[in-house]
Amino acid sequence: MTSAAGVLEVERDGAVLVLTMNRPRQRNALDRELTDALSAALDLLDDDPSLHVGILAGRGPAFCAGTDLHEPSSPATDRGGEYGLVRRRRGTPLVAAVEGPALGGGFELVLACDLVVPGTDARFGLPEVARGLVATCAGLFRSADRLPPAIAAEMLLTGDPVGAERAHQVGLVNVLAEPGQALERARELAARITRNSPDAVSASLRALHDSRGPAEAAGWTATDLAIARIAQSPDPAEGIGAFFDKRPPRWSR
């Protein structure tokens, strides 16, 4: 069963729910409409006991470019937090099938998933510092949880992306696919999960998430402090303005 809800395509394939972000002209940037659609689909994944695995993908040349810069802040929902996913308490595994760039909030979506399957042309990045911003949707602490600390620091401080092959070498990636094959390889990985006891998989996943709880709480506190610090600087307005003007930013110092 497949349903096209405009900005999000939802396909039910047996026990697997495939969610494909569908704003290709905007590089699947997350606005309020896409966030609400994604949150509703993830509610279905969480609440329907016949669904055992979810896959998150993106239509077009990019997985996701992060928050739509026309939004005043990263859209959020009551149940899922930012993008309807970042703070969600899940008992159903979610696989990211990544083709092309996953940048900023797009990479934070990947970090909110449990397993990662990119094409070799995928790139992962946290470019916020290049715009006078900080990563606000868990990138500041989940990057260091999922990657070696030195690699996380490189991404956060330079803003430069990491390619899929390097991400695979350092342990972020579960399966590396040929370009255009990430979704197919993600389906194969999902099938490996659906062979197992749904209750045992759910209990194991919840235990993994619960074990990270104290570190996540500290990470959100540190993120709030970073946001408060950067709010006192003129650099965010300059960085975003320079981005829209397509010019180099002129930082305050």
Spell 11-46 as b/e; 16+ CB within 10 A means b.
ebeebbbbbbbbbeebbbbbbeebbbbbbbbbeebb
CA distances from 180 to 11, 33, 59, 76, 204 (A): 18, 26, 11, 30, 31
User: Among residues 128, 184, 188, 238, which one is catalytic?
Assistant: 128
Q: What is the DSSP letter of 16?
A: E
| Residue 99 contacts residue 180 (beta carbons within 8 Å) | yes
Catalytic residue among 9, 82, 99, 108, which?
108
Radius of gyration of the chain (CA): 17
Say if residues 57 and 20 touch (Cβ distance below 8 Å): yes
3-state SS, residue 17: strand
* Location of structure tokens 């970042």: 86
238 belongs to the catalytic site: no
Q: How far apart are CA 146 and CA 152, in angstroms?
A: 9
Q: To the nearest 5 percent, what fractions of the chain are helix, strand and coil?
A: 45, 20, 35
108 is catalytic: yes
Q: Are 84 and 45 in contact (CB under 8 A)?
A: no
List residues with catalytic annotation.
108, 128
